[in-house]
């Protein structure tokens, strides 16, 4: 049986640059930063006091007060982005076989805010005062479960967890599930909401985040000589994936083909990447082979691009190793330069951005990239938005634990 072609027919975003996909996309093209001082809690005692927060999100008004009360912020944001993507696709579950429509999502940490909140209740007021919603709110699979309940989708449903590669693993397994014939449509993405004291405090203890507190909009500076760590972000991204046959039969708008997936493990260190970026190299090669793309077919890479001293030259070395003499002509950017690092949701958000870049023929800049850091010798699109017809693109996600994921996309 011929392999099924899978396409993107709907996208949804909620991010530090806006509550809709359109707002986020326009902010990225304008070179705007969503990073600022933390307002979700008093961060005055923390070494890092900045983050990319989702601003103006009223869960009670958006989802209803009773529904919002039962969801952690990561599920609230994910449900909101998932519903956007579903609406954008033009699908109506009442016209579909719901058992053939699934939800596969990713989150690196899940309901961290709920966990922190309820631990305080336990310690100060005792176990009898803990919320009955505690466990359902904190569990990662609440994300896919709540979306399926809201939309009535009864097909494959689960959540992947692999730190910063979580949503990309979810998208990759969604691709394979669709190709296998187990489903016709899958709503796939990721969500994260870790701008809470435990989240910020934990990464401060790792000394992984920028401390450029007096200049937050210039703190996330991937591949730049003066980068000093990543900036935490929060938000969610979702894509509607379906077979090309199904999409064409209903006259759907098609953004691009989701063509390939590669995933590897470094087997090296829980937080540091392998030497010579060996795992990331294999991930990209596997995605290219799965997509049946040559290196000459790829014009653009949405990099993991965290703005950390270790990641940026490591990922750059991987790109050079895989693409060889093709590497200098590639456009390589980092969406994290404007949104911050959305941890487990980052792969989904960046997949949406990659799909939009292919669809519109536009690549956003890497904000704050002024002087290339050592080992950072690619074209990181520092000066502003660029336009041309893009044929193929990759999106990298490289997570703690040694997890490497690459998603491959192709214009149709």
Catalytic positions: 164, 304, 341
- Round to whole Å and give the CA distance between 198 and 90: 39
* 17 and 338 Cβ atoms separated by less than 8 Å: yes
- Round to whole Å and give the CA distance between 367 and 24: 15
Show Cβ contacts of residue 42 under 8 Å, excluding neighbours closer than 6 positions.
Answer: none
Number of Cβ atoms within 10 Å of the Cβ of 152: 11
């Amino acid at each position: 049986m011929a392999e099924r072609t899978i396409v993107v027919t709907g996208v949804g975003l909620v991010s530090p640059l806006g509550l809709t996909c359109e707002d986020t996309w326009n902010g990225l093209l304008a070179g705007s930063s969503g990073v600022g001082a933390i307002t979700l809690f008093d961060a005055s005692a923390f070494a890092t006091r900045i983050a990319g927060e989702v601003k103006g999100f009223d869960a009670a008004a958006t989802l209803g007060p009773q529904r919002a009360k039962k969801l952690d912020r990561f599920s609230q944001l994910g449900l909101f982005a998932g519903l956007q993507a579903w609406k954008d696709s033009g699908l109506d579950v009442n016209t579909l076989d719901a058992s053939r429509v699934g939800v596969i999502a990713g989150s690196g940490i899940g309901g961290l805010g709920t966990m922190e909140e309820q631990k305080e209740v336990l310690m100060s007021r005792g176990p009898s005062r803990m919320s009955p919603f505690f466990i359902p709110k904190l569990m990662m699979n609440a994300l896919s479960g709540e979306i399926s309940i809201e939309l009535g989708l009864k097909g494959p449903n689960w959540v992947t967890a692999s730190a910063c590669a979580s949503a990309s693993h979810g998208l990759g397994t969604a691709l394979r599930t669709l190709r296998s014939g187990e489903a016709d449509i899958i709503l796939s993405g990721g969500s994260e909401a870790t701008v809470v004291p435990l989240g910020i405090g934990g990464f401060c203890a790792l000394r992984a985040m920028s401390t450029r507190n007096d200049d937050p909009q210039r703190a996330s500076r991937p591949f730049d000589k003066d980068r000093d760590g990543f900036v935490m972000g929060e938000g969610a991204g979702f894509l509607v994936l379906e077979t090309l046959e199904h999409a064409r039969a209903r006259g759907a708008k098609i953004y691009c083909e989701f063509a390939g997936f590669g995933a590897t493990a470094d087997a090296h260190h829980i937080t540091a990447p392998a030497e010579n970026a060996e795992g990331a190299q294999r991930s990209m090669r596997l995605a290219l082979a799965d997509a049946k793309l040559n290196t000459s077919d790829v014009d653009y890479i949405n990099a993991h691009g965290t703005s950390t001293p270790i990641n940026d030259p490591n990922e750059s070395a991987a790109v050079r190793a895989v693409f060889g003499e093709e590497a200098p002509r590639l456009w390589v950017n980092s969406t994290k330069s404007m949104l911050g690092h959305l941890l487990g949701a980052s792969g989904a958000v960046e997949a949406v951005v990659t799909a939009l870049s292919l669809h519109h023929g536009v690549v956003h800049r890497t904000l704050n990239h002024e002087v290339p850091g050592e080992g950072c010798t690619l074209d990181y699109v520092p000066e502003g938005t660029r336009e041309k017809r893009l044929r193929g693109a990759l999106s990298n996600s490289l997570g703690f634990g040694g997890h490497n994921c690459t998603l491959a996309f192709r214009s149709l």
